[in-house]
Amino acid sequence: MNDGVRDKLVATKQAWARAGRLLTGNHGDPEVDRLPPGQRLVTNWPVLDLGIQPDVPRSAWKLKVDGLVENPVAWDWDAFAAQPEFEDVSDVHCVTQWSRYDNRWTGVSVTHLLSVVRPMPDARHVILHGYDGYTTNVRLDHFSEADCLLAHSHDGVPLSREHGGPVRLIIPRYYLWKSAKWLKRIEFVGADKPGFWEVRGYHNEGDPWIEQRYG
């Protein structure tokens, strides 16, 4: 995708945010309602990105975890693969209105990552950086939930390039734009730093059950 097409895509989504597109005004309860308000169930897996799909082979992939942590790490693929394996099944919800049930993810749990890097007491937020230049911000308590993981496989198959392989974050509880693809760096910070979509009209937290699509 060239820069002009990308700019048009971003402008369109910013216009959606200004107009409150897709908002229903309803609230749901994740303990009761499996499908958040305004969502539609799909069985395929739509591809959404900024027009850039980095081609990062496992042999060249590296993940840096730094900032307000006691033990910063820089994992190559072998170091990542040596961590305890974690599997979880979860639903995912995209801000563009689709939801997909029962996704089986395999990777490294955030719980394990936190035990390795040990965030400092003043860490409050996490900034996720992708190989495509994308960033998004997540509260540390959201990032720390038990079903969050650094996923390398989906439904038993390695993540494809278009879906964020070799590694993407999965935070099932929030809209999928918070689950950064092509993960390159995880930065622990004290002060919040809104990311790519958050500074362009999207909500800072992104809870689908209370329709936090836009800020």
Delineate the domains of the chain, giving CATH numbers in brackets: 3-210 (3.90.420.10)
pLDDT digits 0-9 by tens, 115-143: 999 999 999 999 999 999 999 999 999 99
- Take residue 29 and report the two structure tokens written for it: 């309860």
- The SS3 of residue 185 is strand
Q: State mean pLDDT over 198-207.
A: 96
Asked if pLDDT for residue 3 goes beyond 70, the answer is no
Going 13 to 168 to 104 to 145, the CA torsion angle's sign is negative
pLDDT digits 0-9 by tens, 33-80: 999 999 999 999 999 777 789 999 999 999 999 999 999 999 999 999
pLDDT band at 4 (very low <50, low <70, confident <90, very high): low
- With 0-12 / 13-18 / 19 or more C-beta atoms within 10 angstroms meaning exposed / middle / buried, residue 203 is buried
pLDDT digits 0-9 by tens, 150-189: 999 999 999 999 999 999 999 999 999 999 999 999 999 9
* Structural contact between residues 191 and 111, judged by C-beta atoms closer than 8 angstroms: no
pLDDT at position 20: 77
> What is the pTM assigned to this prediction?
0.93
d(CA 181, CA 51): 13
pLDDT at position 215: 87
- Take residue 119 and report the two structure tokens written for it: 């965030």
pLDDT band at 5 (very low <50, low <70, confident <90, very high): low
Q: What is the mean pLDDT of the chain?
A: 94
